[in-house]
Structure 1
Amino acid sequence: KLVQQHTSCMEKMECLLSIWLHDLYKQNIPISLAFIQEKTMSLYKDNKIEGQIGESGPLNASRELFHRFQKRYGFKNVQVQGEVGNADKDAAEAFPEMLKTIIKEGSYNPQQVFNADKMGLYLKLNEKFVPGFKALKDRKLLLGGSARGDMKLEPLLVYRSENPLAMKNYVNSCLPVIWKSHRKAWMTRQLFHEWFEMKKYCEETNLMFKILLILDNASAH
């Protein structure tokens, strides 16, 4: 029974890992093997606790384990970096000071500094999930808020269908998200522009209509 629980835990962990990796791959986010190993052990630990597996010991997230995982889940095109490149590391180290300079020169206060990013939203998941990743095309969620923490933007949900069957008896305007549709569940420039409307916020908080928005370099942004 312990072996069966361990196997089930491994399968669920690999299923979650495949979804996580594929989402990063679709967004062209570089990733190191060390980061994958850390995520692997974290997912395994969470599922181990949930499944209450006995003293089976920690998972050895070795390079060989990941290579076997790659073959089983068909991650042939995922390029894994041994270490983060020097250019990326230098840019990451320089960014905090650069951001401070921009904020100081622009006279932004924390209420005028915002960050936003999108993520995949997975509503249905089980061990029978197989490669193909159709679930990733279903929905995207855009989140954002101010540096001060006093303003959280209403989440924007982009779904491939405007009126899905599961939402038949619901009014979209009553949902805790802004519901938008796109046939491929993509975030578009128009959707993003409609979502990030700050003029009313600035008027209500007596702020100058000037916002610093920190984003990644996705084309929709």
Structure 2
Amino acid sequence: MSFIVILIGLLAQVFFSARILIQWFLSEKKHEVISPTLFWVFSLMGSYLMFYYGWLRNDFSIIVGQFISFYIYIGNLSLKGVWKKVPLLFRVLIILTPPIILTIYSHNDGESFVDVFLRNKDIPLWLVVFGTIGQITFTFRFVYQWIYSVRKKVSSLPPTFWWISLTGSAVIIAYAIMRQDPILILGQSFGCVSYIRNLMIGYNSSKKGNA
């Protein structure tokens, strides 16, 4: 990997790690699992960079995962009333960037696009499928979280969100080890600690509430 690719990936993981630290710290402080605005702001920024990292790495599974969760982050910022405060032009640019880039490159050379992502000699198809399953599972946590939050009409992070996070993260770590991708290994390993701790905080909070 070139230095610029590593830098983009590291910066994305910095944002993802920062969101975890902030959410974890504030949850510990309140003794209950919370969904702070900065969690979603940093999620969006990290996802934006991770999308480019996946593209530069020719990694289809990363792109699929980021593409879906990207818009859920925006949805949560909308629930919190923050998204509408962002200048309109900037909002449009953020929303359209991922599909425009993906469309341009795939349209210009569709066969090459398939060869790079699905017939890549450096990544066997079974490994692409395995990694994609991990990313889809990991991303599904935000689909679940979004449905849950819409029903509750407030952005929240329920216990099932953390269980799905742990499952998806385990698959991605295994994929990253096989791909020898230190960026993914670092980010996911750090996240696992937070997922387990949030489950513990949520459990303790629930016990106190039922006491």
Give the TM-score normalised by the residue count of structure 1: 0.24
Q: More strand by proportion, 1 or 2?
A: 1
Larger RCO, structure (CA 8 Å, separation 6 or more): 2
